[in-house]
Chains A and B, each alone.
Chain A
Amino acid sequence: MTQPLVRPKRKNPVLRTRLPTLPPGTRSRVALGLTAAAAEGRFALQVCRDCGAVQYPPREACQACLSVRLDWRAQDGAGALLADTVLHHSNDLFFRERLPWRLGLVRLDVGAAVVAHLHGDVPPAPARVRVTARLDRAGQAVLVALPEKETPHMADDRQLREFTCDPKFRKILVTDGKTAVGQALVKAFAAAGADLLWVGHTEPWKKFAGFDELAALPQVTLLPLDVTDSKSVREIAAEIGGKVDILVNTAEYHRTFGIGNRPGVETARAEMDVNYFGLLRLAQEFGPAMRSRGSDGQSSAVAWVNLLSIYALANFPPHGTFSASKAAAHSLAQCLRAELRPAGVRVVNVFPGPIDDEWNQLLLPPKVAPEALARAIVQALRDGVEDVYPGDVAQEWLERWRENPKALERELSA
């Protein structure tokens, strides 16, 4: 059974920090269908539209009937472990540094055989397993065979932790603790076993509502941090940048209205300054340090979380300039994702529907409660996903957007 993680000792600053390496990341285009689903936490395989045969490895034509109409469909992953092995030798640097490494050959109940990373709690073959798809440090989907039923401390499995960004024993920066979401997140991370929590606040000379409650948490250190101020970001990065394992950017500027209902550009500029340039400033100052710590022992730098909005996908005219700033941030986050991937640091983009806060006052429910949003983010880190659409509104928008983006554009402008 998995031994629970112990709190890591303080790092010896004299010792060399191991440089990050990645597992093999080359995939055929068709295999990226597995990655697309895993990025949202789903395990999907190609299923033939004509004969129903389930396919693996990913391919261009059905192995049963040669149809080229293969659709990615979610799978439950139930299967039988036929054989298992422990690698003591690898031809790849990433795995060489992590040997021994356990693998299994699994026959899925739907018919396909798969090679999978094997969780330590799965008994030797023959055994029942549950196969899931996870993103590895290269950002590509891999299959992981888990025990059929939950086992104690299973998230602490040494191999599984290579695929997740579990907050347990990690040092986390939440860039803005003043917002309802920021405060809910800090509490959720503390409950999830975070080692240290740095919490930014823009106006250190005055206490915000909830300040005392946060400050009372033993893991929390409050820091003056203003993402619109390059100097402030630089100073904080110089102080803690080399220690942050997970950065969560909750700083957000949100006003209502689109183009015609509000004169001038000042509000739109303020939105861009926080939502877009704020991310850019943080990325420039914290990115390099996190990139260098992608492989720094048990609690290395693993994730960068952006609080975006479902409005980043399609503009919501009643909140038009806000939508535009989130779309800009989304685009920049894709750039950041590309730049952090060589270090194995995952960029997690969160696309909530309207949050139940003051700036969405006039929107009808359902709205996402800050606590629910915080739970979704913690879960996303535990599952190692990189795109999160929490809440019913986000899920519905996503589905409409995927099915027909033009239709959604018309519907939102109605």
Chain B
Amino acid sequence: MSARRGYDGVAVAVPVTVPYVRYSVRSAHWWLARALGEALKRSGLKKTDVDGLTVSSFTLAPDTAIGLTQHLGVSPRWLDHVPLGGASGVVALRRAARAVQAGDAEVVACIAGDTNHVDSFRLTLANFSQFARDAVYPYGAGGPNASFSFLTAHYMRTYGATREDFGKLCVAQRANALKYPHALFKKPLALEEYLSARPIAEPLRLFDCVMPCAGAEAFLVLSEDRARSLNAPYARLLGAVERHNAFPSDPIQMRAGWALEREALYAQAGVGTGDIDFVETYDDYPVISVMQFEDLGFCGKGEGPAFVRANTFTHDGSFPHNTSGGQLSVGQAGAAGGFLGLVEAIRQLTGEAGGRQVAGANVGLASGFGMINFDRGLGSGAAILAAP
């Protein structure tokens, strides 16, 4: 395999969050328009300056990225629809970065957003994929809760993880979220409360499960030179990988594509796990964060529980993790959930993280995971960003 070309000169800037709400009567178009509008406002760019666009959304149907161009009145010369759920952020970033490097676009806006009507989550679940409709949804219609209950139960049995281990992550994320103004959860979470919450799909209880909501996220991908000329604070992209449907013959998901790609990721970025100052994992359920710690090399496979017990995870902890609260404490705004970690990483590296700022944050890792198509998540990706 030939060496992968690096991402030299690529900047990621203008982290945008359109404040989340539990339910919205607006459509996905409204949320995506707000995200793009806010990115333009904050960057001082005009619509015509943004010549590349990626769009990620579950609820945009019947439209895709192309329809949205007319809706928003933009004429990009480079366009991508990235409907990869929780892997959308990293994947959109990779593609946009290559477009910028190749000169196919100068400034790419990567936007993700979803609405959440009172019944839209159920409808998304019922028609999520052909395999889900045929072979998962008719089994209790539990949605991803049921799928992750299997993975969680199996992980606990195999590696000795306890509810307290997962609770420790959730409690720390909530502490981080209290310093993130856009988080929908505003009250502290005590471990006792986590442990005694109502059961959802054993062993999962209420605070193990993300809350669907409406919201949008965005960032711009452009050259470092262009970012400097805009006076926009930016982070550099050191490395990024994706891998989908990895390990298909594993009988139950214990690992995902990160395990195949992490060596290439760190080699491309020129850093090791010891250089990473904070990590933003994709966290629709805490078990998948622990798998990311393992598969991204912060500890060995099966060592996740010991790693959790040995570290603290608040923004000022020994292993700052999901410093804005993660989806578990901010809310899961559909495909925007796949952008949450990246957007927070940009804020941390540009010194915009306010009271949850990780001291001396120079290098950060954000990972994505998505699309529970049948019995497991298919998409995975990770990116390493650094302060300029």
Residues of A within 8 A of B (CB): 23-28, 31, 56-58, 63, 82-92, 94-95, 101, 103, 105, 107, 113-117, 125-126, 136, 138, 140, 142
Looking at B169-177, B194-202, B236-244, B331-339, the stretch in contact with chain A turns out to be: B194-202
Closest to B130 in A: A28
5 further A-B contacts with Cβ under 8 Å, apart from A83-B151, A85-B201, are A82-B252, A83-B154, A89-B201, A91-B125, A125-B153
Min CB gap A384→B, angstroms: 15
B142 touches A87 (CB 8 A): yes
Q: List 11 A-B contacts (CB under 8 A).
A: A31-B135, A56-B135, A57-B134, A82-B154, A83-B252, A84-B150, A92-B122, A92-B140, A105-B252, A116-B139, A117-B140
Q: How far is B137's CA from A94's CA once the two chains are assembled, in angstroms?
A: 12
Judged by a CB distance under 8 angstroms, whether B51 is at the interface is no
Closest to B136 in A: A115
Among A86, A87, A95: residue with most chain B CB under 10 A:
A87
Q: How far is B135's CA from A136's CA once the two chains are assembled, in angstroms?
A: 13
Closest to B155 in A: A83
Judged by a CB distance under 8 angstroms, whether B329 is at the interface is no
Q: A95-B141, A113-B375, A136-B138 known; A88 and B202 CB under 8 Å?
A: yes
Q: A28-B134, A83-B151, A91-B121 known; A115 and B139 CB under 8 Å?
A: yes
Min CB gap B197→A, angstroms: 11
Q: A26-B126, A87-B201, A89-B145 known; A107 and B252 CB under 8 Å?
A: yes
What does DSSP make chain B's interface, helix, strand, loop or mixed?
Answer: mixed
Judged by a CB distance under 8 angstroms, whether B5 is at the interface is no
Min CB gap A379→B, angstroms: 25
Using Cβ atoms and an 8 Å threshold, which residues of chain B touch A94?
141
Q: A24-B126, A26-B126, A107-B252 known; A91 and B150 CB under 8 Å?
A: no
Judged by a CB distance under 8 angstroms, whether B159 is at the interface is no
Q: A28-B134, A57-B134, A142-B139 known; A103 and B121 CB under 8 Å?
A: no
Using Cβ atoms and an 8 Å threshold, which residues of chain B touch A27?
133-134
* Closest 7 pairs between A and B when the two form their complex, measured CB to CB: A92-B141, A57-B135, A85-B149, A83-B150, A31-B134, A107-B251, A83-B154
B135 touches A114 (CB 8 A): yes
Q: How far is B140's CA from A117's CA once the two chains are assembled, in angstroms?
A: 8
Q: How far is B250's CA from A314's CA once the two chains are assembled, in angstroms?
A: 48
Judged by a CB distance under 8 angstroms, whether B342 is at the interface is no
Using Cβ atoms and an 8 Å threshold, which residues of chain A touch B133?
24, 26-28
Q: How far is B247's CA from A358's CA once the two chains are assembled, in angstroms?
A: 64
A103 touches B154 (CB 8 A): no
Min CB gap B196→A, angstroms: 14
Among A23, A56, A57, A140: residue with most chain B CB under 10 A:
A57
B140 touches A87 (CB 8 A): yes
Min CB gap A341→B, angstroms: 15
B126 touches A89 (CB 8 A): no
Q: How far is B146's CA from A85's CA once the two chains are assembled, in angstroms?
A: 7
Judged by a CB distance under 8 angstroms, whether B370 is at the interface is no
Interface size class of B (residues with CB under 8 A): 35 or more
B140 touches A103 (CB 8 A): yes
Judged by a CB distance under 8 angstroms, whether B272 is at the interface is no
Using Cβ atoms and an 8 Å threshold, which residues of chain A touch B141?
23-24, 90-92, 94-95
Closest to B141 in A: A92
Q: How far is B151's CA from A126's CA once the two chains are assembled, in angstroms?
A: 13
A86 touches B135 (CB 8 A): no
Selected from A24, A85, A117, the residue in CB contact (under 8 A) with B137 is A24
Min CB gap B348→A, angstroms: 34
Min CB gap B248→A, angstroms: 7
B134 touches A103 (CB 8 A): no
Q: How far is B153's CA from A322's CA once the two chains are assembled, in angstroms?
A: 59
Closest to A88 in B: B199
B251 touches A113 (CB 8 A): yes
A63 touches B248 (CB 8 A): yes
Q: How far is B260's CA from A235's CA once the two chains are assembled, in angstroms?
A: 72
Q: A63-B248, A116-B139, A136-B138 known; A86 and B201 CB under 8 Å?
A: yes
Q: How far is B149's CA from A90's CA once the two chains are assembled, in angstroms?
A: 13
Q: How far is B151's CA from A31's CA once the two chains are assembled, in angstroms?
A: 25
Using Cβ atoms and an 8 Å threshold, which residues of chain A touch B122?
91-92
Q: A26-B133, A28-B134, A31-B135 known; A84 and B142 CB under 8 Å?
A: no
Using Cβ atoms and an 8 Å threshold, which residues of chain B touch A88?
198-202
Closest to B157 in A: A125
Judged by a CB distance under 8 angstroms, whether B15 is at the interface is no
Q: How far is B80's CA from A145's CA once the two chains are assembled, in angstroms?
A: 43
Judged by a CB distance under 8 angstroms, whether B298 is at the interface is no
- Give the residues from 180 to 201 in chain B that come closer than 8 angstroms, CB to CB, to chain A: 198-201
A105 touches B126 (CB 8 A): no
Min CB gap A124→B, angstroms: 9
Q: How far is B248's CA from A90's CA once the two chains are assembled, in angstroms?
A: 28
Using Cβ atoms and an 8 Å threshold, which residues of chain B touch A89?
142, 145, 200-201
Min CB gap B2→A, angstroms: 26
Q: How far is B199's CA from A89's CA once the two chains are assembled, in angstroms?
A: 8
Selected from A28, A85, A125, A140, the residue in CB contact (under 8 A) with B138 is A140
Using Cβ atoms and an 8 Å threshold, which residues of chain A touch B142?
85, 87, 89-91, 95, 103
Q: How far is B147's CA from A87's CA once the two chains are assembled, in angstroms?
A: 11
B375 touches A115 (CB 8 A): yes
Using Cβ atoms and an 8 Å threshold, which residues of chain B touch A91?
121-122, 125-126, 141-143
Using Cβ atoms and an 8 Å threshold, which residues of chain B touch A90?
140-142
Using Cβ atoms and an 8 Å threshold, which residues of chain A touch B151?
83
Using Cβ atoms and an 8 Å threshold, which residues of chain B touch A115?
135-136, 139, 146, 374-375
Among B133, B201, B374: residue with most chain A CB under 10 A:
B201
B140 touches A95 (CB 8 A): yes
Using Cβ atoms and an 8 Å threshold, which residues of chain A touch B374?
57, 115
Using Cβ atoms and an 8 Å threshold, which residues of chain B touch A136?
138
Q: How far is B375's CA from A381's CA once the two chains are assembled, in angstroms?
A: 32
Q: How far is B134's CA from A28's CA once the two chains are assembled, in angstroms?
A: 7
Min CB gap B277→A, angstroms: 35
Q: How far is B134's CA from A89's CA once the two chains are assembled, in angstroms?
A: 20
Closest to B202 in A: A86
Q: How far is B141's CA from A89's CA once the two chains are assembled, in angstroms?
A: 9
Min CB gap A70→B, angstroms: 14
Closest to A58 in B: B134
Closest to B154 in A: A83
Q: 1/0 per position for B105-142, CB-CB distance to A under 8 A?
A: 00000000000000001100111001101111111111
Min CB gap A7→B, angstroms: 29
B134 touches A23 (CB 8 A): no
Using Cβ atoms and an 8 Å threshold, which residues of chain B touch A31?
134-135
Min CB gap A47→B, angstroms: 17
Q: How far is B134's CA from A57's CA once the two chains are assembled, in angstroms?
A: 7
Min CB gap B272→A, angstroms: 34
Using Cβ atoms and an 8 Å threshold, which residues of chain A touch B204?
85
Using Cβ atoms and an 8 Å threshold, which residues of chain A touch B130?
28, 57
Min CB gap B386→A, angstroms: 39
Closest to B151 in A: A83
Q: How far is B140's CA from A94's CA once the two chains are assembled, in angstroms?
A: 8
Q: How far is B201's CA from A103's CA once the two chains are assembled, in angstroms?
A: 10
- Give the residues from 201 to 258 in chain B that come closer than 8 angstroms, CB to CB, to chain A: 201-204, 248, 251-252
Q: How far is B125's CA from A85's CA once the two chains are assembled, in angstroms?
A: 19
Q: How far is B130's CA from A117's CA once the two chains are assembled, in angstroms?
A: 19
